[in-house]
C-alpha cells in the first residue's frame, strides 16, 4: 500500500464520539490513508471500539494501546509508527470534512512543507451550531514569516498537513505537557521553507464541557501555555527566534486580556524577556509602542503571602499546597514567636479574653503596612487566580451589602488607608474596643471617602482600592472563576452562604416576602436558570430554590 497520508488520532475516554471521528477518516475522498489510533489508557469503551475498527478495516486502521501519558506523548507514539508521505492529526472528539485530506494533499504535492486550512468550532449541544475560525488573519501575499508572527492564531496540529520528510529533518516532537499543540506547531513553522494556506473550513472541532480544551480555558491549565511558549523559544529555528519571540509576546498580551485572573503570571513571564526585548532591534521596531510601554509593568502588590496563625494552626496539607502552588512567592507564617503581642497593651487585653481573631486582624494590618503582600487566614484555600488582584494598591472583599470580609486582604506597603485602620486601634474612637476589623474597614471607607459597600465589585480610583464581590473572591460553592475557597471552619461556610442569600432576599422578614417581591425575584431567578452558563449561575439557582421555598 502506497500510503499518502498517515492520520494520527490520540484517544482518551471519548466512546461517545470516537466512532464519528474514525468514520470521517474512513470516508475521505483521498485513497491510501492510514489511520493510527493511539489509545491513551482509556478507562471507558474507547479502546474496545478502536479494536473493532482495526479488526474490520485491517488495511486502514492501526491501533496502539499505551498507558495514560497525555495527548502529546500519544501523538509522538503515533509519529513513530507513521508510514505516510504526509502526516495529519485528528482529535478523537472531532471530525474531518470528507475531502479535507484530498485538498491538503494535492496542495502539499506542489512542494509545501506545511499546508494549513480553516476549521469550524461546533457547540457540543447542537452540531449545527458552528462558527468558522480563520487560520490566518494577516498581510498578503502570505509569507512564512507572517505565519510565524501569527503562530498562535493557528497553533493546533489538527488543521495542518506536514511533510513527513520535513518533520524528520526538523526533529521536533510534541512536548509532553498540557497545551502540547502550542509547543509543536509554532516551533515547526520556524523551520518550514514553504507554507500554504487553504482558506476553507475543512476541520470540525467540538466545544464540549468535559473536553480538555474546554476545561483548560476554565481553570489553571491555561498557565501551562507558559511552558509551551518556552518550549517554542528553546526549540525553534535560531534564525527565526525574533519572529517566534514576537508571536509569544503578542499571544501573552492577548492572554492577559482573555484571562485577567492570571495576568500576574503572564506579566511575570513577559518581564523575564525584558532584557532580550530591549536589545532586540527587530522587536523594538515592529512591536507597537503601546505594547512595549505596557507589557512590562510590574505588579503593584509584592508577591508575599502572609498566613496568620496566632493561637491557631494551618493544616500541613494546606501549607504544602501554598508552597507548591505559589513558588514565586515568599511565604511567611506569623505566630506568637515572630509577632510580639506584649508590645501592644490592647492586644494583651484581647489575649486575656481569648479573642484571637482580634489579635490576628490587628497583626495583619501591621504586617501589611510594613511589608505589603497578601494576608490570609489559615482556613483559606488560596487559588492562583488571586494574583489578578496584585495590579491594585489595596484589595478587600465584600460578603454582602454593607459587610466586608477580612480573611483575605492584599495591599501595597505604606498604604495610608491601612494606617488609618491601625489608628482606630491606638486611638480608639469606638465604645467597644473589640470592634471587628470588617466594621472598621466599612466605617473608614465611609468616613474617608463617603463610599458604601454594595456587595458587588467596586473600585475607588483615587485609592486604587478594589472591593471584590463574594462570587469573585470568596464563595463556599464550587465556582471555577472564584479566587479562593474555604478549607475549614464549617460554621463560617454556612455564614457566608447565608449572607449571599441575604443579598437577594434582603426584604425577607419573619419568613415572609410580599407577593410583589417574590414575583420580581422569581423573574430574575428564571432568567438566570435559562442561562447556558450553568456553572457560573449555580449560586443563583440555589438561591432561586430558597426563594421558591419561601413562596410555599
Q: What is the 3-state secondary structure (H, E, C) of 126-189?
A: CCCCEEEECCCCCCCCCCHHHHHHCHHHCCCCCCEEEEHHHHHHHCCCCCCCCCHHHHHHHHHH
Assigned fold of 5-253:
Spore Coat Polysaccharide Biosynthesis Protein SpsA; Chain A (3.90.550)
pLDDT digits 0-9 by tens, 355-372? 888 899 999 999 999 999
Taking residues 408-429, what's their average pLDDT?
Answer: 85
Model pLDDT, residue 371: 95
Which residue is listed with cell 475498527? 53
Per-residue pLDDT tens over the stretch 150-197: 999 889 999 999 999 999 999 999 999 989 999 999 999 999 999 999
pLDDT at 504 over 60: no
User: What pLDDT is recorded for position 217?
Assistant: 47
Q: Is the pLDDT of residue 213 over 70?
A: no
CB 482 within 8 A of CB 385: yes
Q: Where are the domains of the chain?
A: 5-253, 259-294, 304-468, 505-551
The pLDDT of residue 520 is 60
pLDDT of residue 540: 53
Burial of 85 (0-12, 13-18, 19+ CB in 10 A): middle
Global pTM reads: 0.77
What does the pLDDT read at residue 549? 53
In this predicted structure, the answer to whether residue 215 has a pLDDT above a threshold of 50 is no
Q: Are 351 and 341 in contact (CB under 8 A)?
A: yes
pLDDT at 469: 75
Determine phi and psi for 206, rounding to 5 degrees: -85, 140
Q: What is the pLDDT of residues 34-88, one digit of tens each?
A: 999 999 999 999 999 999 999 999 999 999 999 999 999 999 999 999 999 999 9
Grid cell of 3 as nine digits = 500510503
The whole-number pLDDT of residue 234 equals 96
Contact by Cβ (8 Å): 378, 492: no
- Strand order through the sheet with 330-334: 330-334, 304-308, 373-376, 403-411, 394-400, 465-468, 458-460
Q: Provide φ and ψ at 402, rounded to 5°.
A: 70, 15
Looking at every residue in the chain, the average pLDDT score rounds to 83
Q: Using CA atoms, how far apart are residues 173 and 467, in angstroms rounded to an integer?
A: 46
Residue 2 reports pLDDT greater than 90: no
Distance CA 207, CA 220 (A): 18
Burial tier of 215 (Cβ tally within 10 Å: 0-12, 13-18, 19+): middle
3 state DSSP class of 70: coil
> Do 257 and 291 meet the contact criterion of CB atoms below 8 Å apart?
no
pLDDT value at position 263? 86
pLDDT at 489 over 70: no
With bands split at pLDDT 50, 70 and 90, how would you rate the model's confidence at 475?
A: very low
Q: Is the Cβ–Cβ distance between 138 and 116 less than 8 Å? A: no
Which residue in this structure is represented by grid cell 476541520? 203
Whether residue 177 contacts residue 221, with contact meaning beta carbons closer than 8 Å, is answered with no
Using alpha carbons, select from 207, 231, 180 the residue that is nearest to residue 40: 180
Higher per-residue confidence, 386 vs 176? 176
Contacts for 341 with CB less than 8 Å, ≥ 6 apart: 310, 347, 348, 351, 359
Amino acid at each position: 500500500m502506497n500510503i499518502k497520508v498517515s492520520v494520527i488520532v490520540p484517544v482518551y475516554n471519548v466512546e461517545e464520539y470516537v466512532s464519528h471521528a474514525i468514520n470521517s477518516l474512513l470516508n475521505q475522498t483521498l485513497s491510501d490513508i492510514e489511520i493510527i489510533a493511539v489509545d491513551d489508557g482509556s478507562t471507558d469503551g474507547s479502546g474496545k471500539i478502536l479494536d473493532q475498527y482495526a479488526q474490520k478495516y485491517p488495511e486502514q486502521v492501526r491501533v496502539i494501546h499505551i498507558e495514560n501519558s497525555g495527548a502529546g506523548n500519544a501523538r509522538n507514539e503515533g509519529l513513530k509508527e507513521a508510514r505516510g508521505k504526509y502526516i495529519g492529526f485528528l482529535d478523537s472528539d472531532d471530525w474531518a470534512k470528507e475531502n479535507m485530506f484530498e485538498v491538503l494533499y494535492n496542495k502539499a504535492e506542489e512542494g509545501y512543507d506545511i499546508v494549513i486550512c480553516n476549521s469550524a468550532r461546533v457547540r457540543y449541544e447542537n452540531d449545527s451550531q458552528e462558527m468558522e475560525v480563520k487560520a490566518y488573519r494577516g498581510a498578503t501575499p502570505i509569507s512564512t514569516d507572517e505565519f510565524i508572527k501569527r503562530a498562535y492564531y493557528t497553533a493546533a496540529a489538527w488543521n495542518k498537513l506536514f511533510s513527513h520528510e520535513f518533520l524528520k529533518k526538523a526533529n521536533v516532537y510534541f512536548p509532553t505537557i498540557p497545551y502540547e499543540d502550542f509547543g509543536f506547531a509554532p516551533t515547526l513553522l520556524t523551520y518550514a521553507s514553504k507554507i500554504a494556506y487553504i482558506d476553507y473550513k475543512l476541520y470540525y472541532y467540538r466545544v464540549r464541557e468535559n473536553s480538555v480544551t474546554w476545561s483548560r480555558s476554565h481553570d489553571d491549565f491555561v498557565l501551562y501555555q507558559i511552558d509551551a511558549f518556552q518550549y517554542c523559544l528553546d526549540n525553534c529555528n535560531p534564525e527565526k527566534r525574533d519572529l517566534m519571540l514576537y508571536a509569544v509576546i503578542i499571544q501573552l498580551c492577548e492572554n492577559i486580556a482573555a484571562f485577567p485572573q492570571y495576568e500576574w503570571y503572564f506579566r511575570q513571564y513577559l518581564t523575564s524577556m525584558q532584557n532580550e526585548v530591549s536589545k532586540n532591534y527587530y522587536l523594538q521596531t515592529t512591536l507597537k509602542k503601546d505594547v512595549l510601554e505596557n507589557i512590562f509593568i510590574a505588579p503593584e502588590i509584592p508577591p508575599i503571602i502572609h498566613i496568620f496563625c496566632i493561637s491557631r494552626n494551618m493544616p500541613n496539607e494546606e501549607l504544602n499546597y501554598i508552597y507548591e502552588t505559589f513558588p514565586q512567592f515568599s511565604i511567611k507564617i506569623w505566630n506568637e514567636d515572630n509577632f510580639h503581642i506584649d508590645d501592644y497593651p490592647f492586644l494583651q487585653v484581647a489575649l486575656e479574653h481569648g479573642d484571637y481573631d482580634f489579635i490576628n486582624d490587628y497583626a495583619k494590618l501591621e504586617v501589611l503596612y510594613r511589608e505589603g503582600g497578601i494576608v490570609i487566614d489559615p482556613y483559606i484555600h488560596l487559588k492562583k487566580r488571586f494574583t489578578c488582584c496584585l495590579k491594585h494598591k489595596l484589595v478587600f472583599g465584600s460578603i454582602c451589602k454593607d459587610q466586608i470580609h477580612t480573611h483575605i486582604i492584599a495591599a501595597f506597603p505604606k498604604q495610608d488607608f491601612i494606617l488609618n485602620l491601625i489608628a482606630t486601634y491606638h486611638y480608639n474612637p469606638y465604645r467597644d474596643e473589640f470592634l471587628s476589623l470588617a466594621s472598621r474597614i466599612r466605617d473608614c471607607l465611609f468616613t474617608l471617602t463617603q463610599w458604601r459597600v454594595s456587595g458587588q465589585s467596586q473600585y475607588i480610583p483615587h485609592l486604587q482600592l478594589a472591593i471584590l464581590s463574594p462570587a469573585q473572591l470568596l464563595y463556599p460553592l464550587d465556582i471555577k472563576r472564584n479566587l479562593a475557597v474555604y478549607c475549614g471552619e464549617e460554621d463560617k461556610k454556612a455564614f457566608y452562604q447565608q449572607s449571599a442569600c441575604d443579598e437577594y432576599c434582603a426584604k425577607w422578614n419573619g419568613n415572609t416576602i410580599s407577593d410583589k417581591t417574590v414575583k420580581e425575584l422569581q423573574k430574575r431567578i428564571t432568567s438566570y436558570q435559562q442561562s447556558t452558563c450553568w456553572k457560573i449561575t449555580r449560586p443563583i439557582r440555589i438561591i432561586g430554590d430558597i426563594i421558591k421555598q419561601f413562596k410555599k
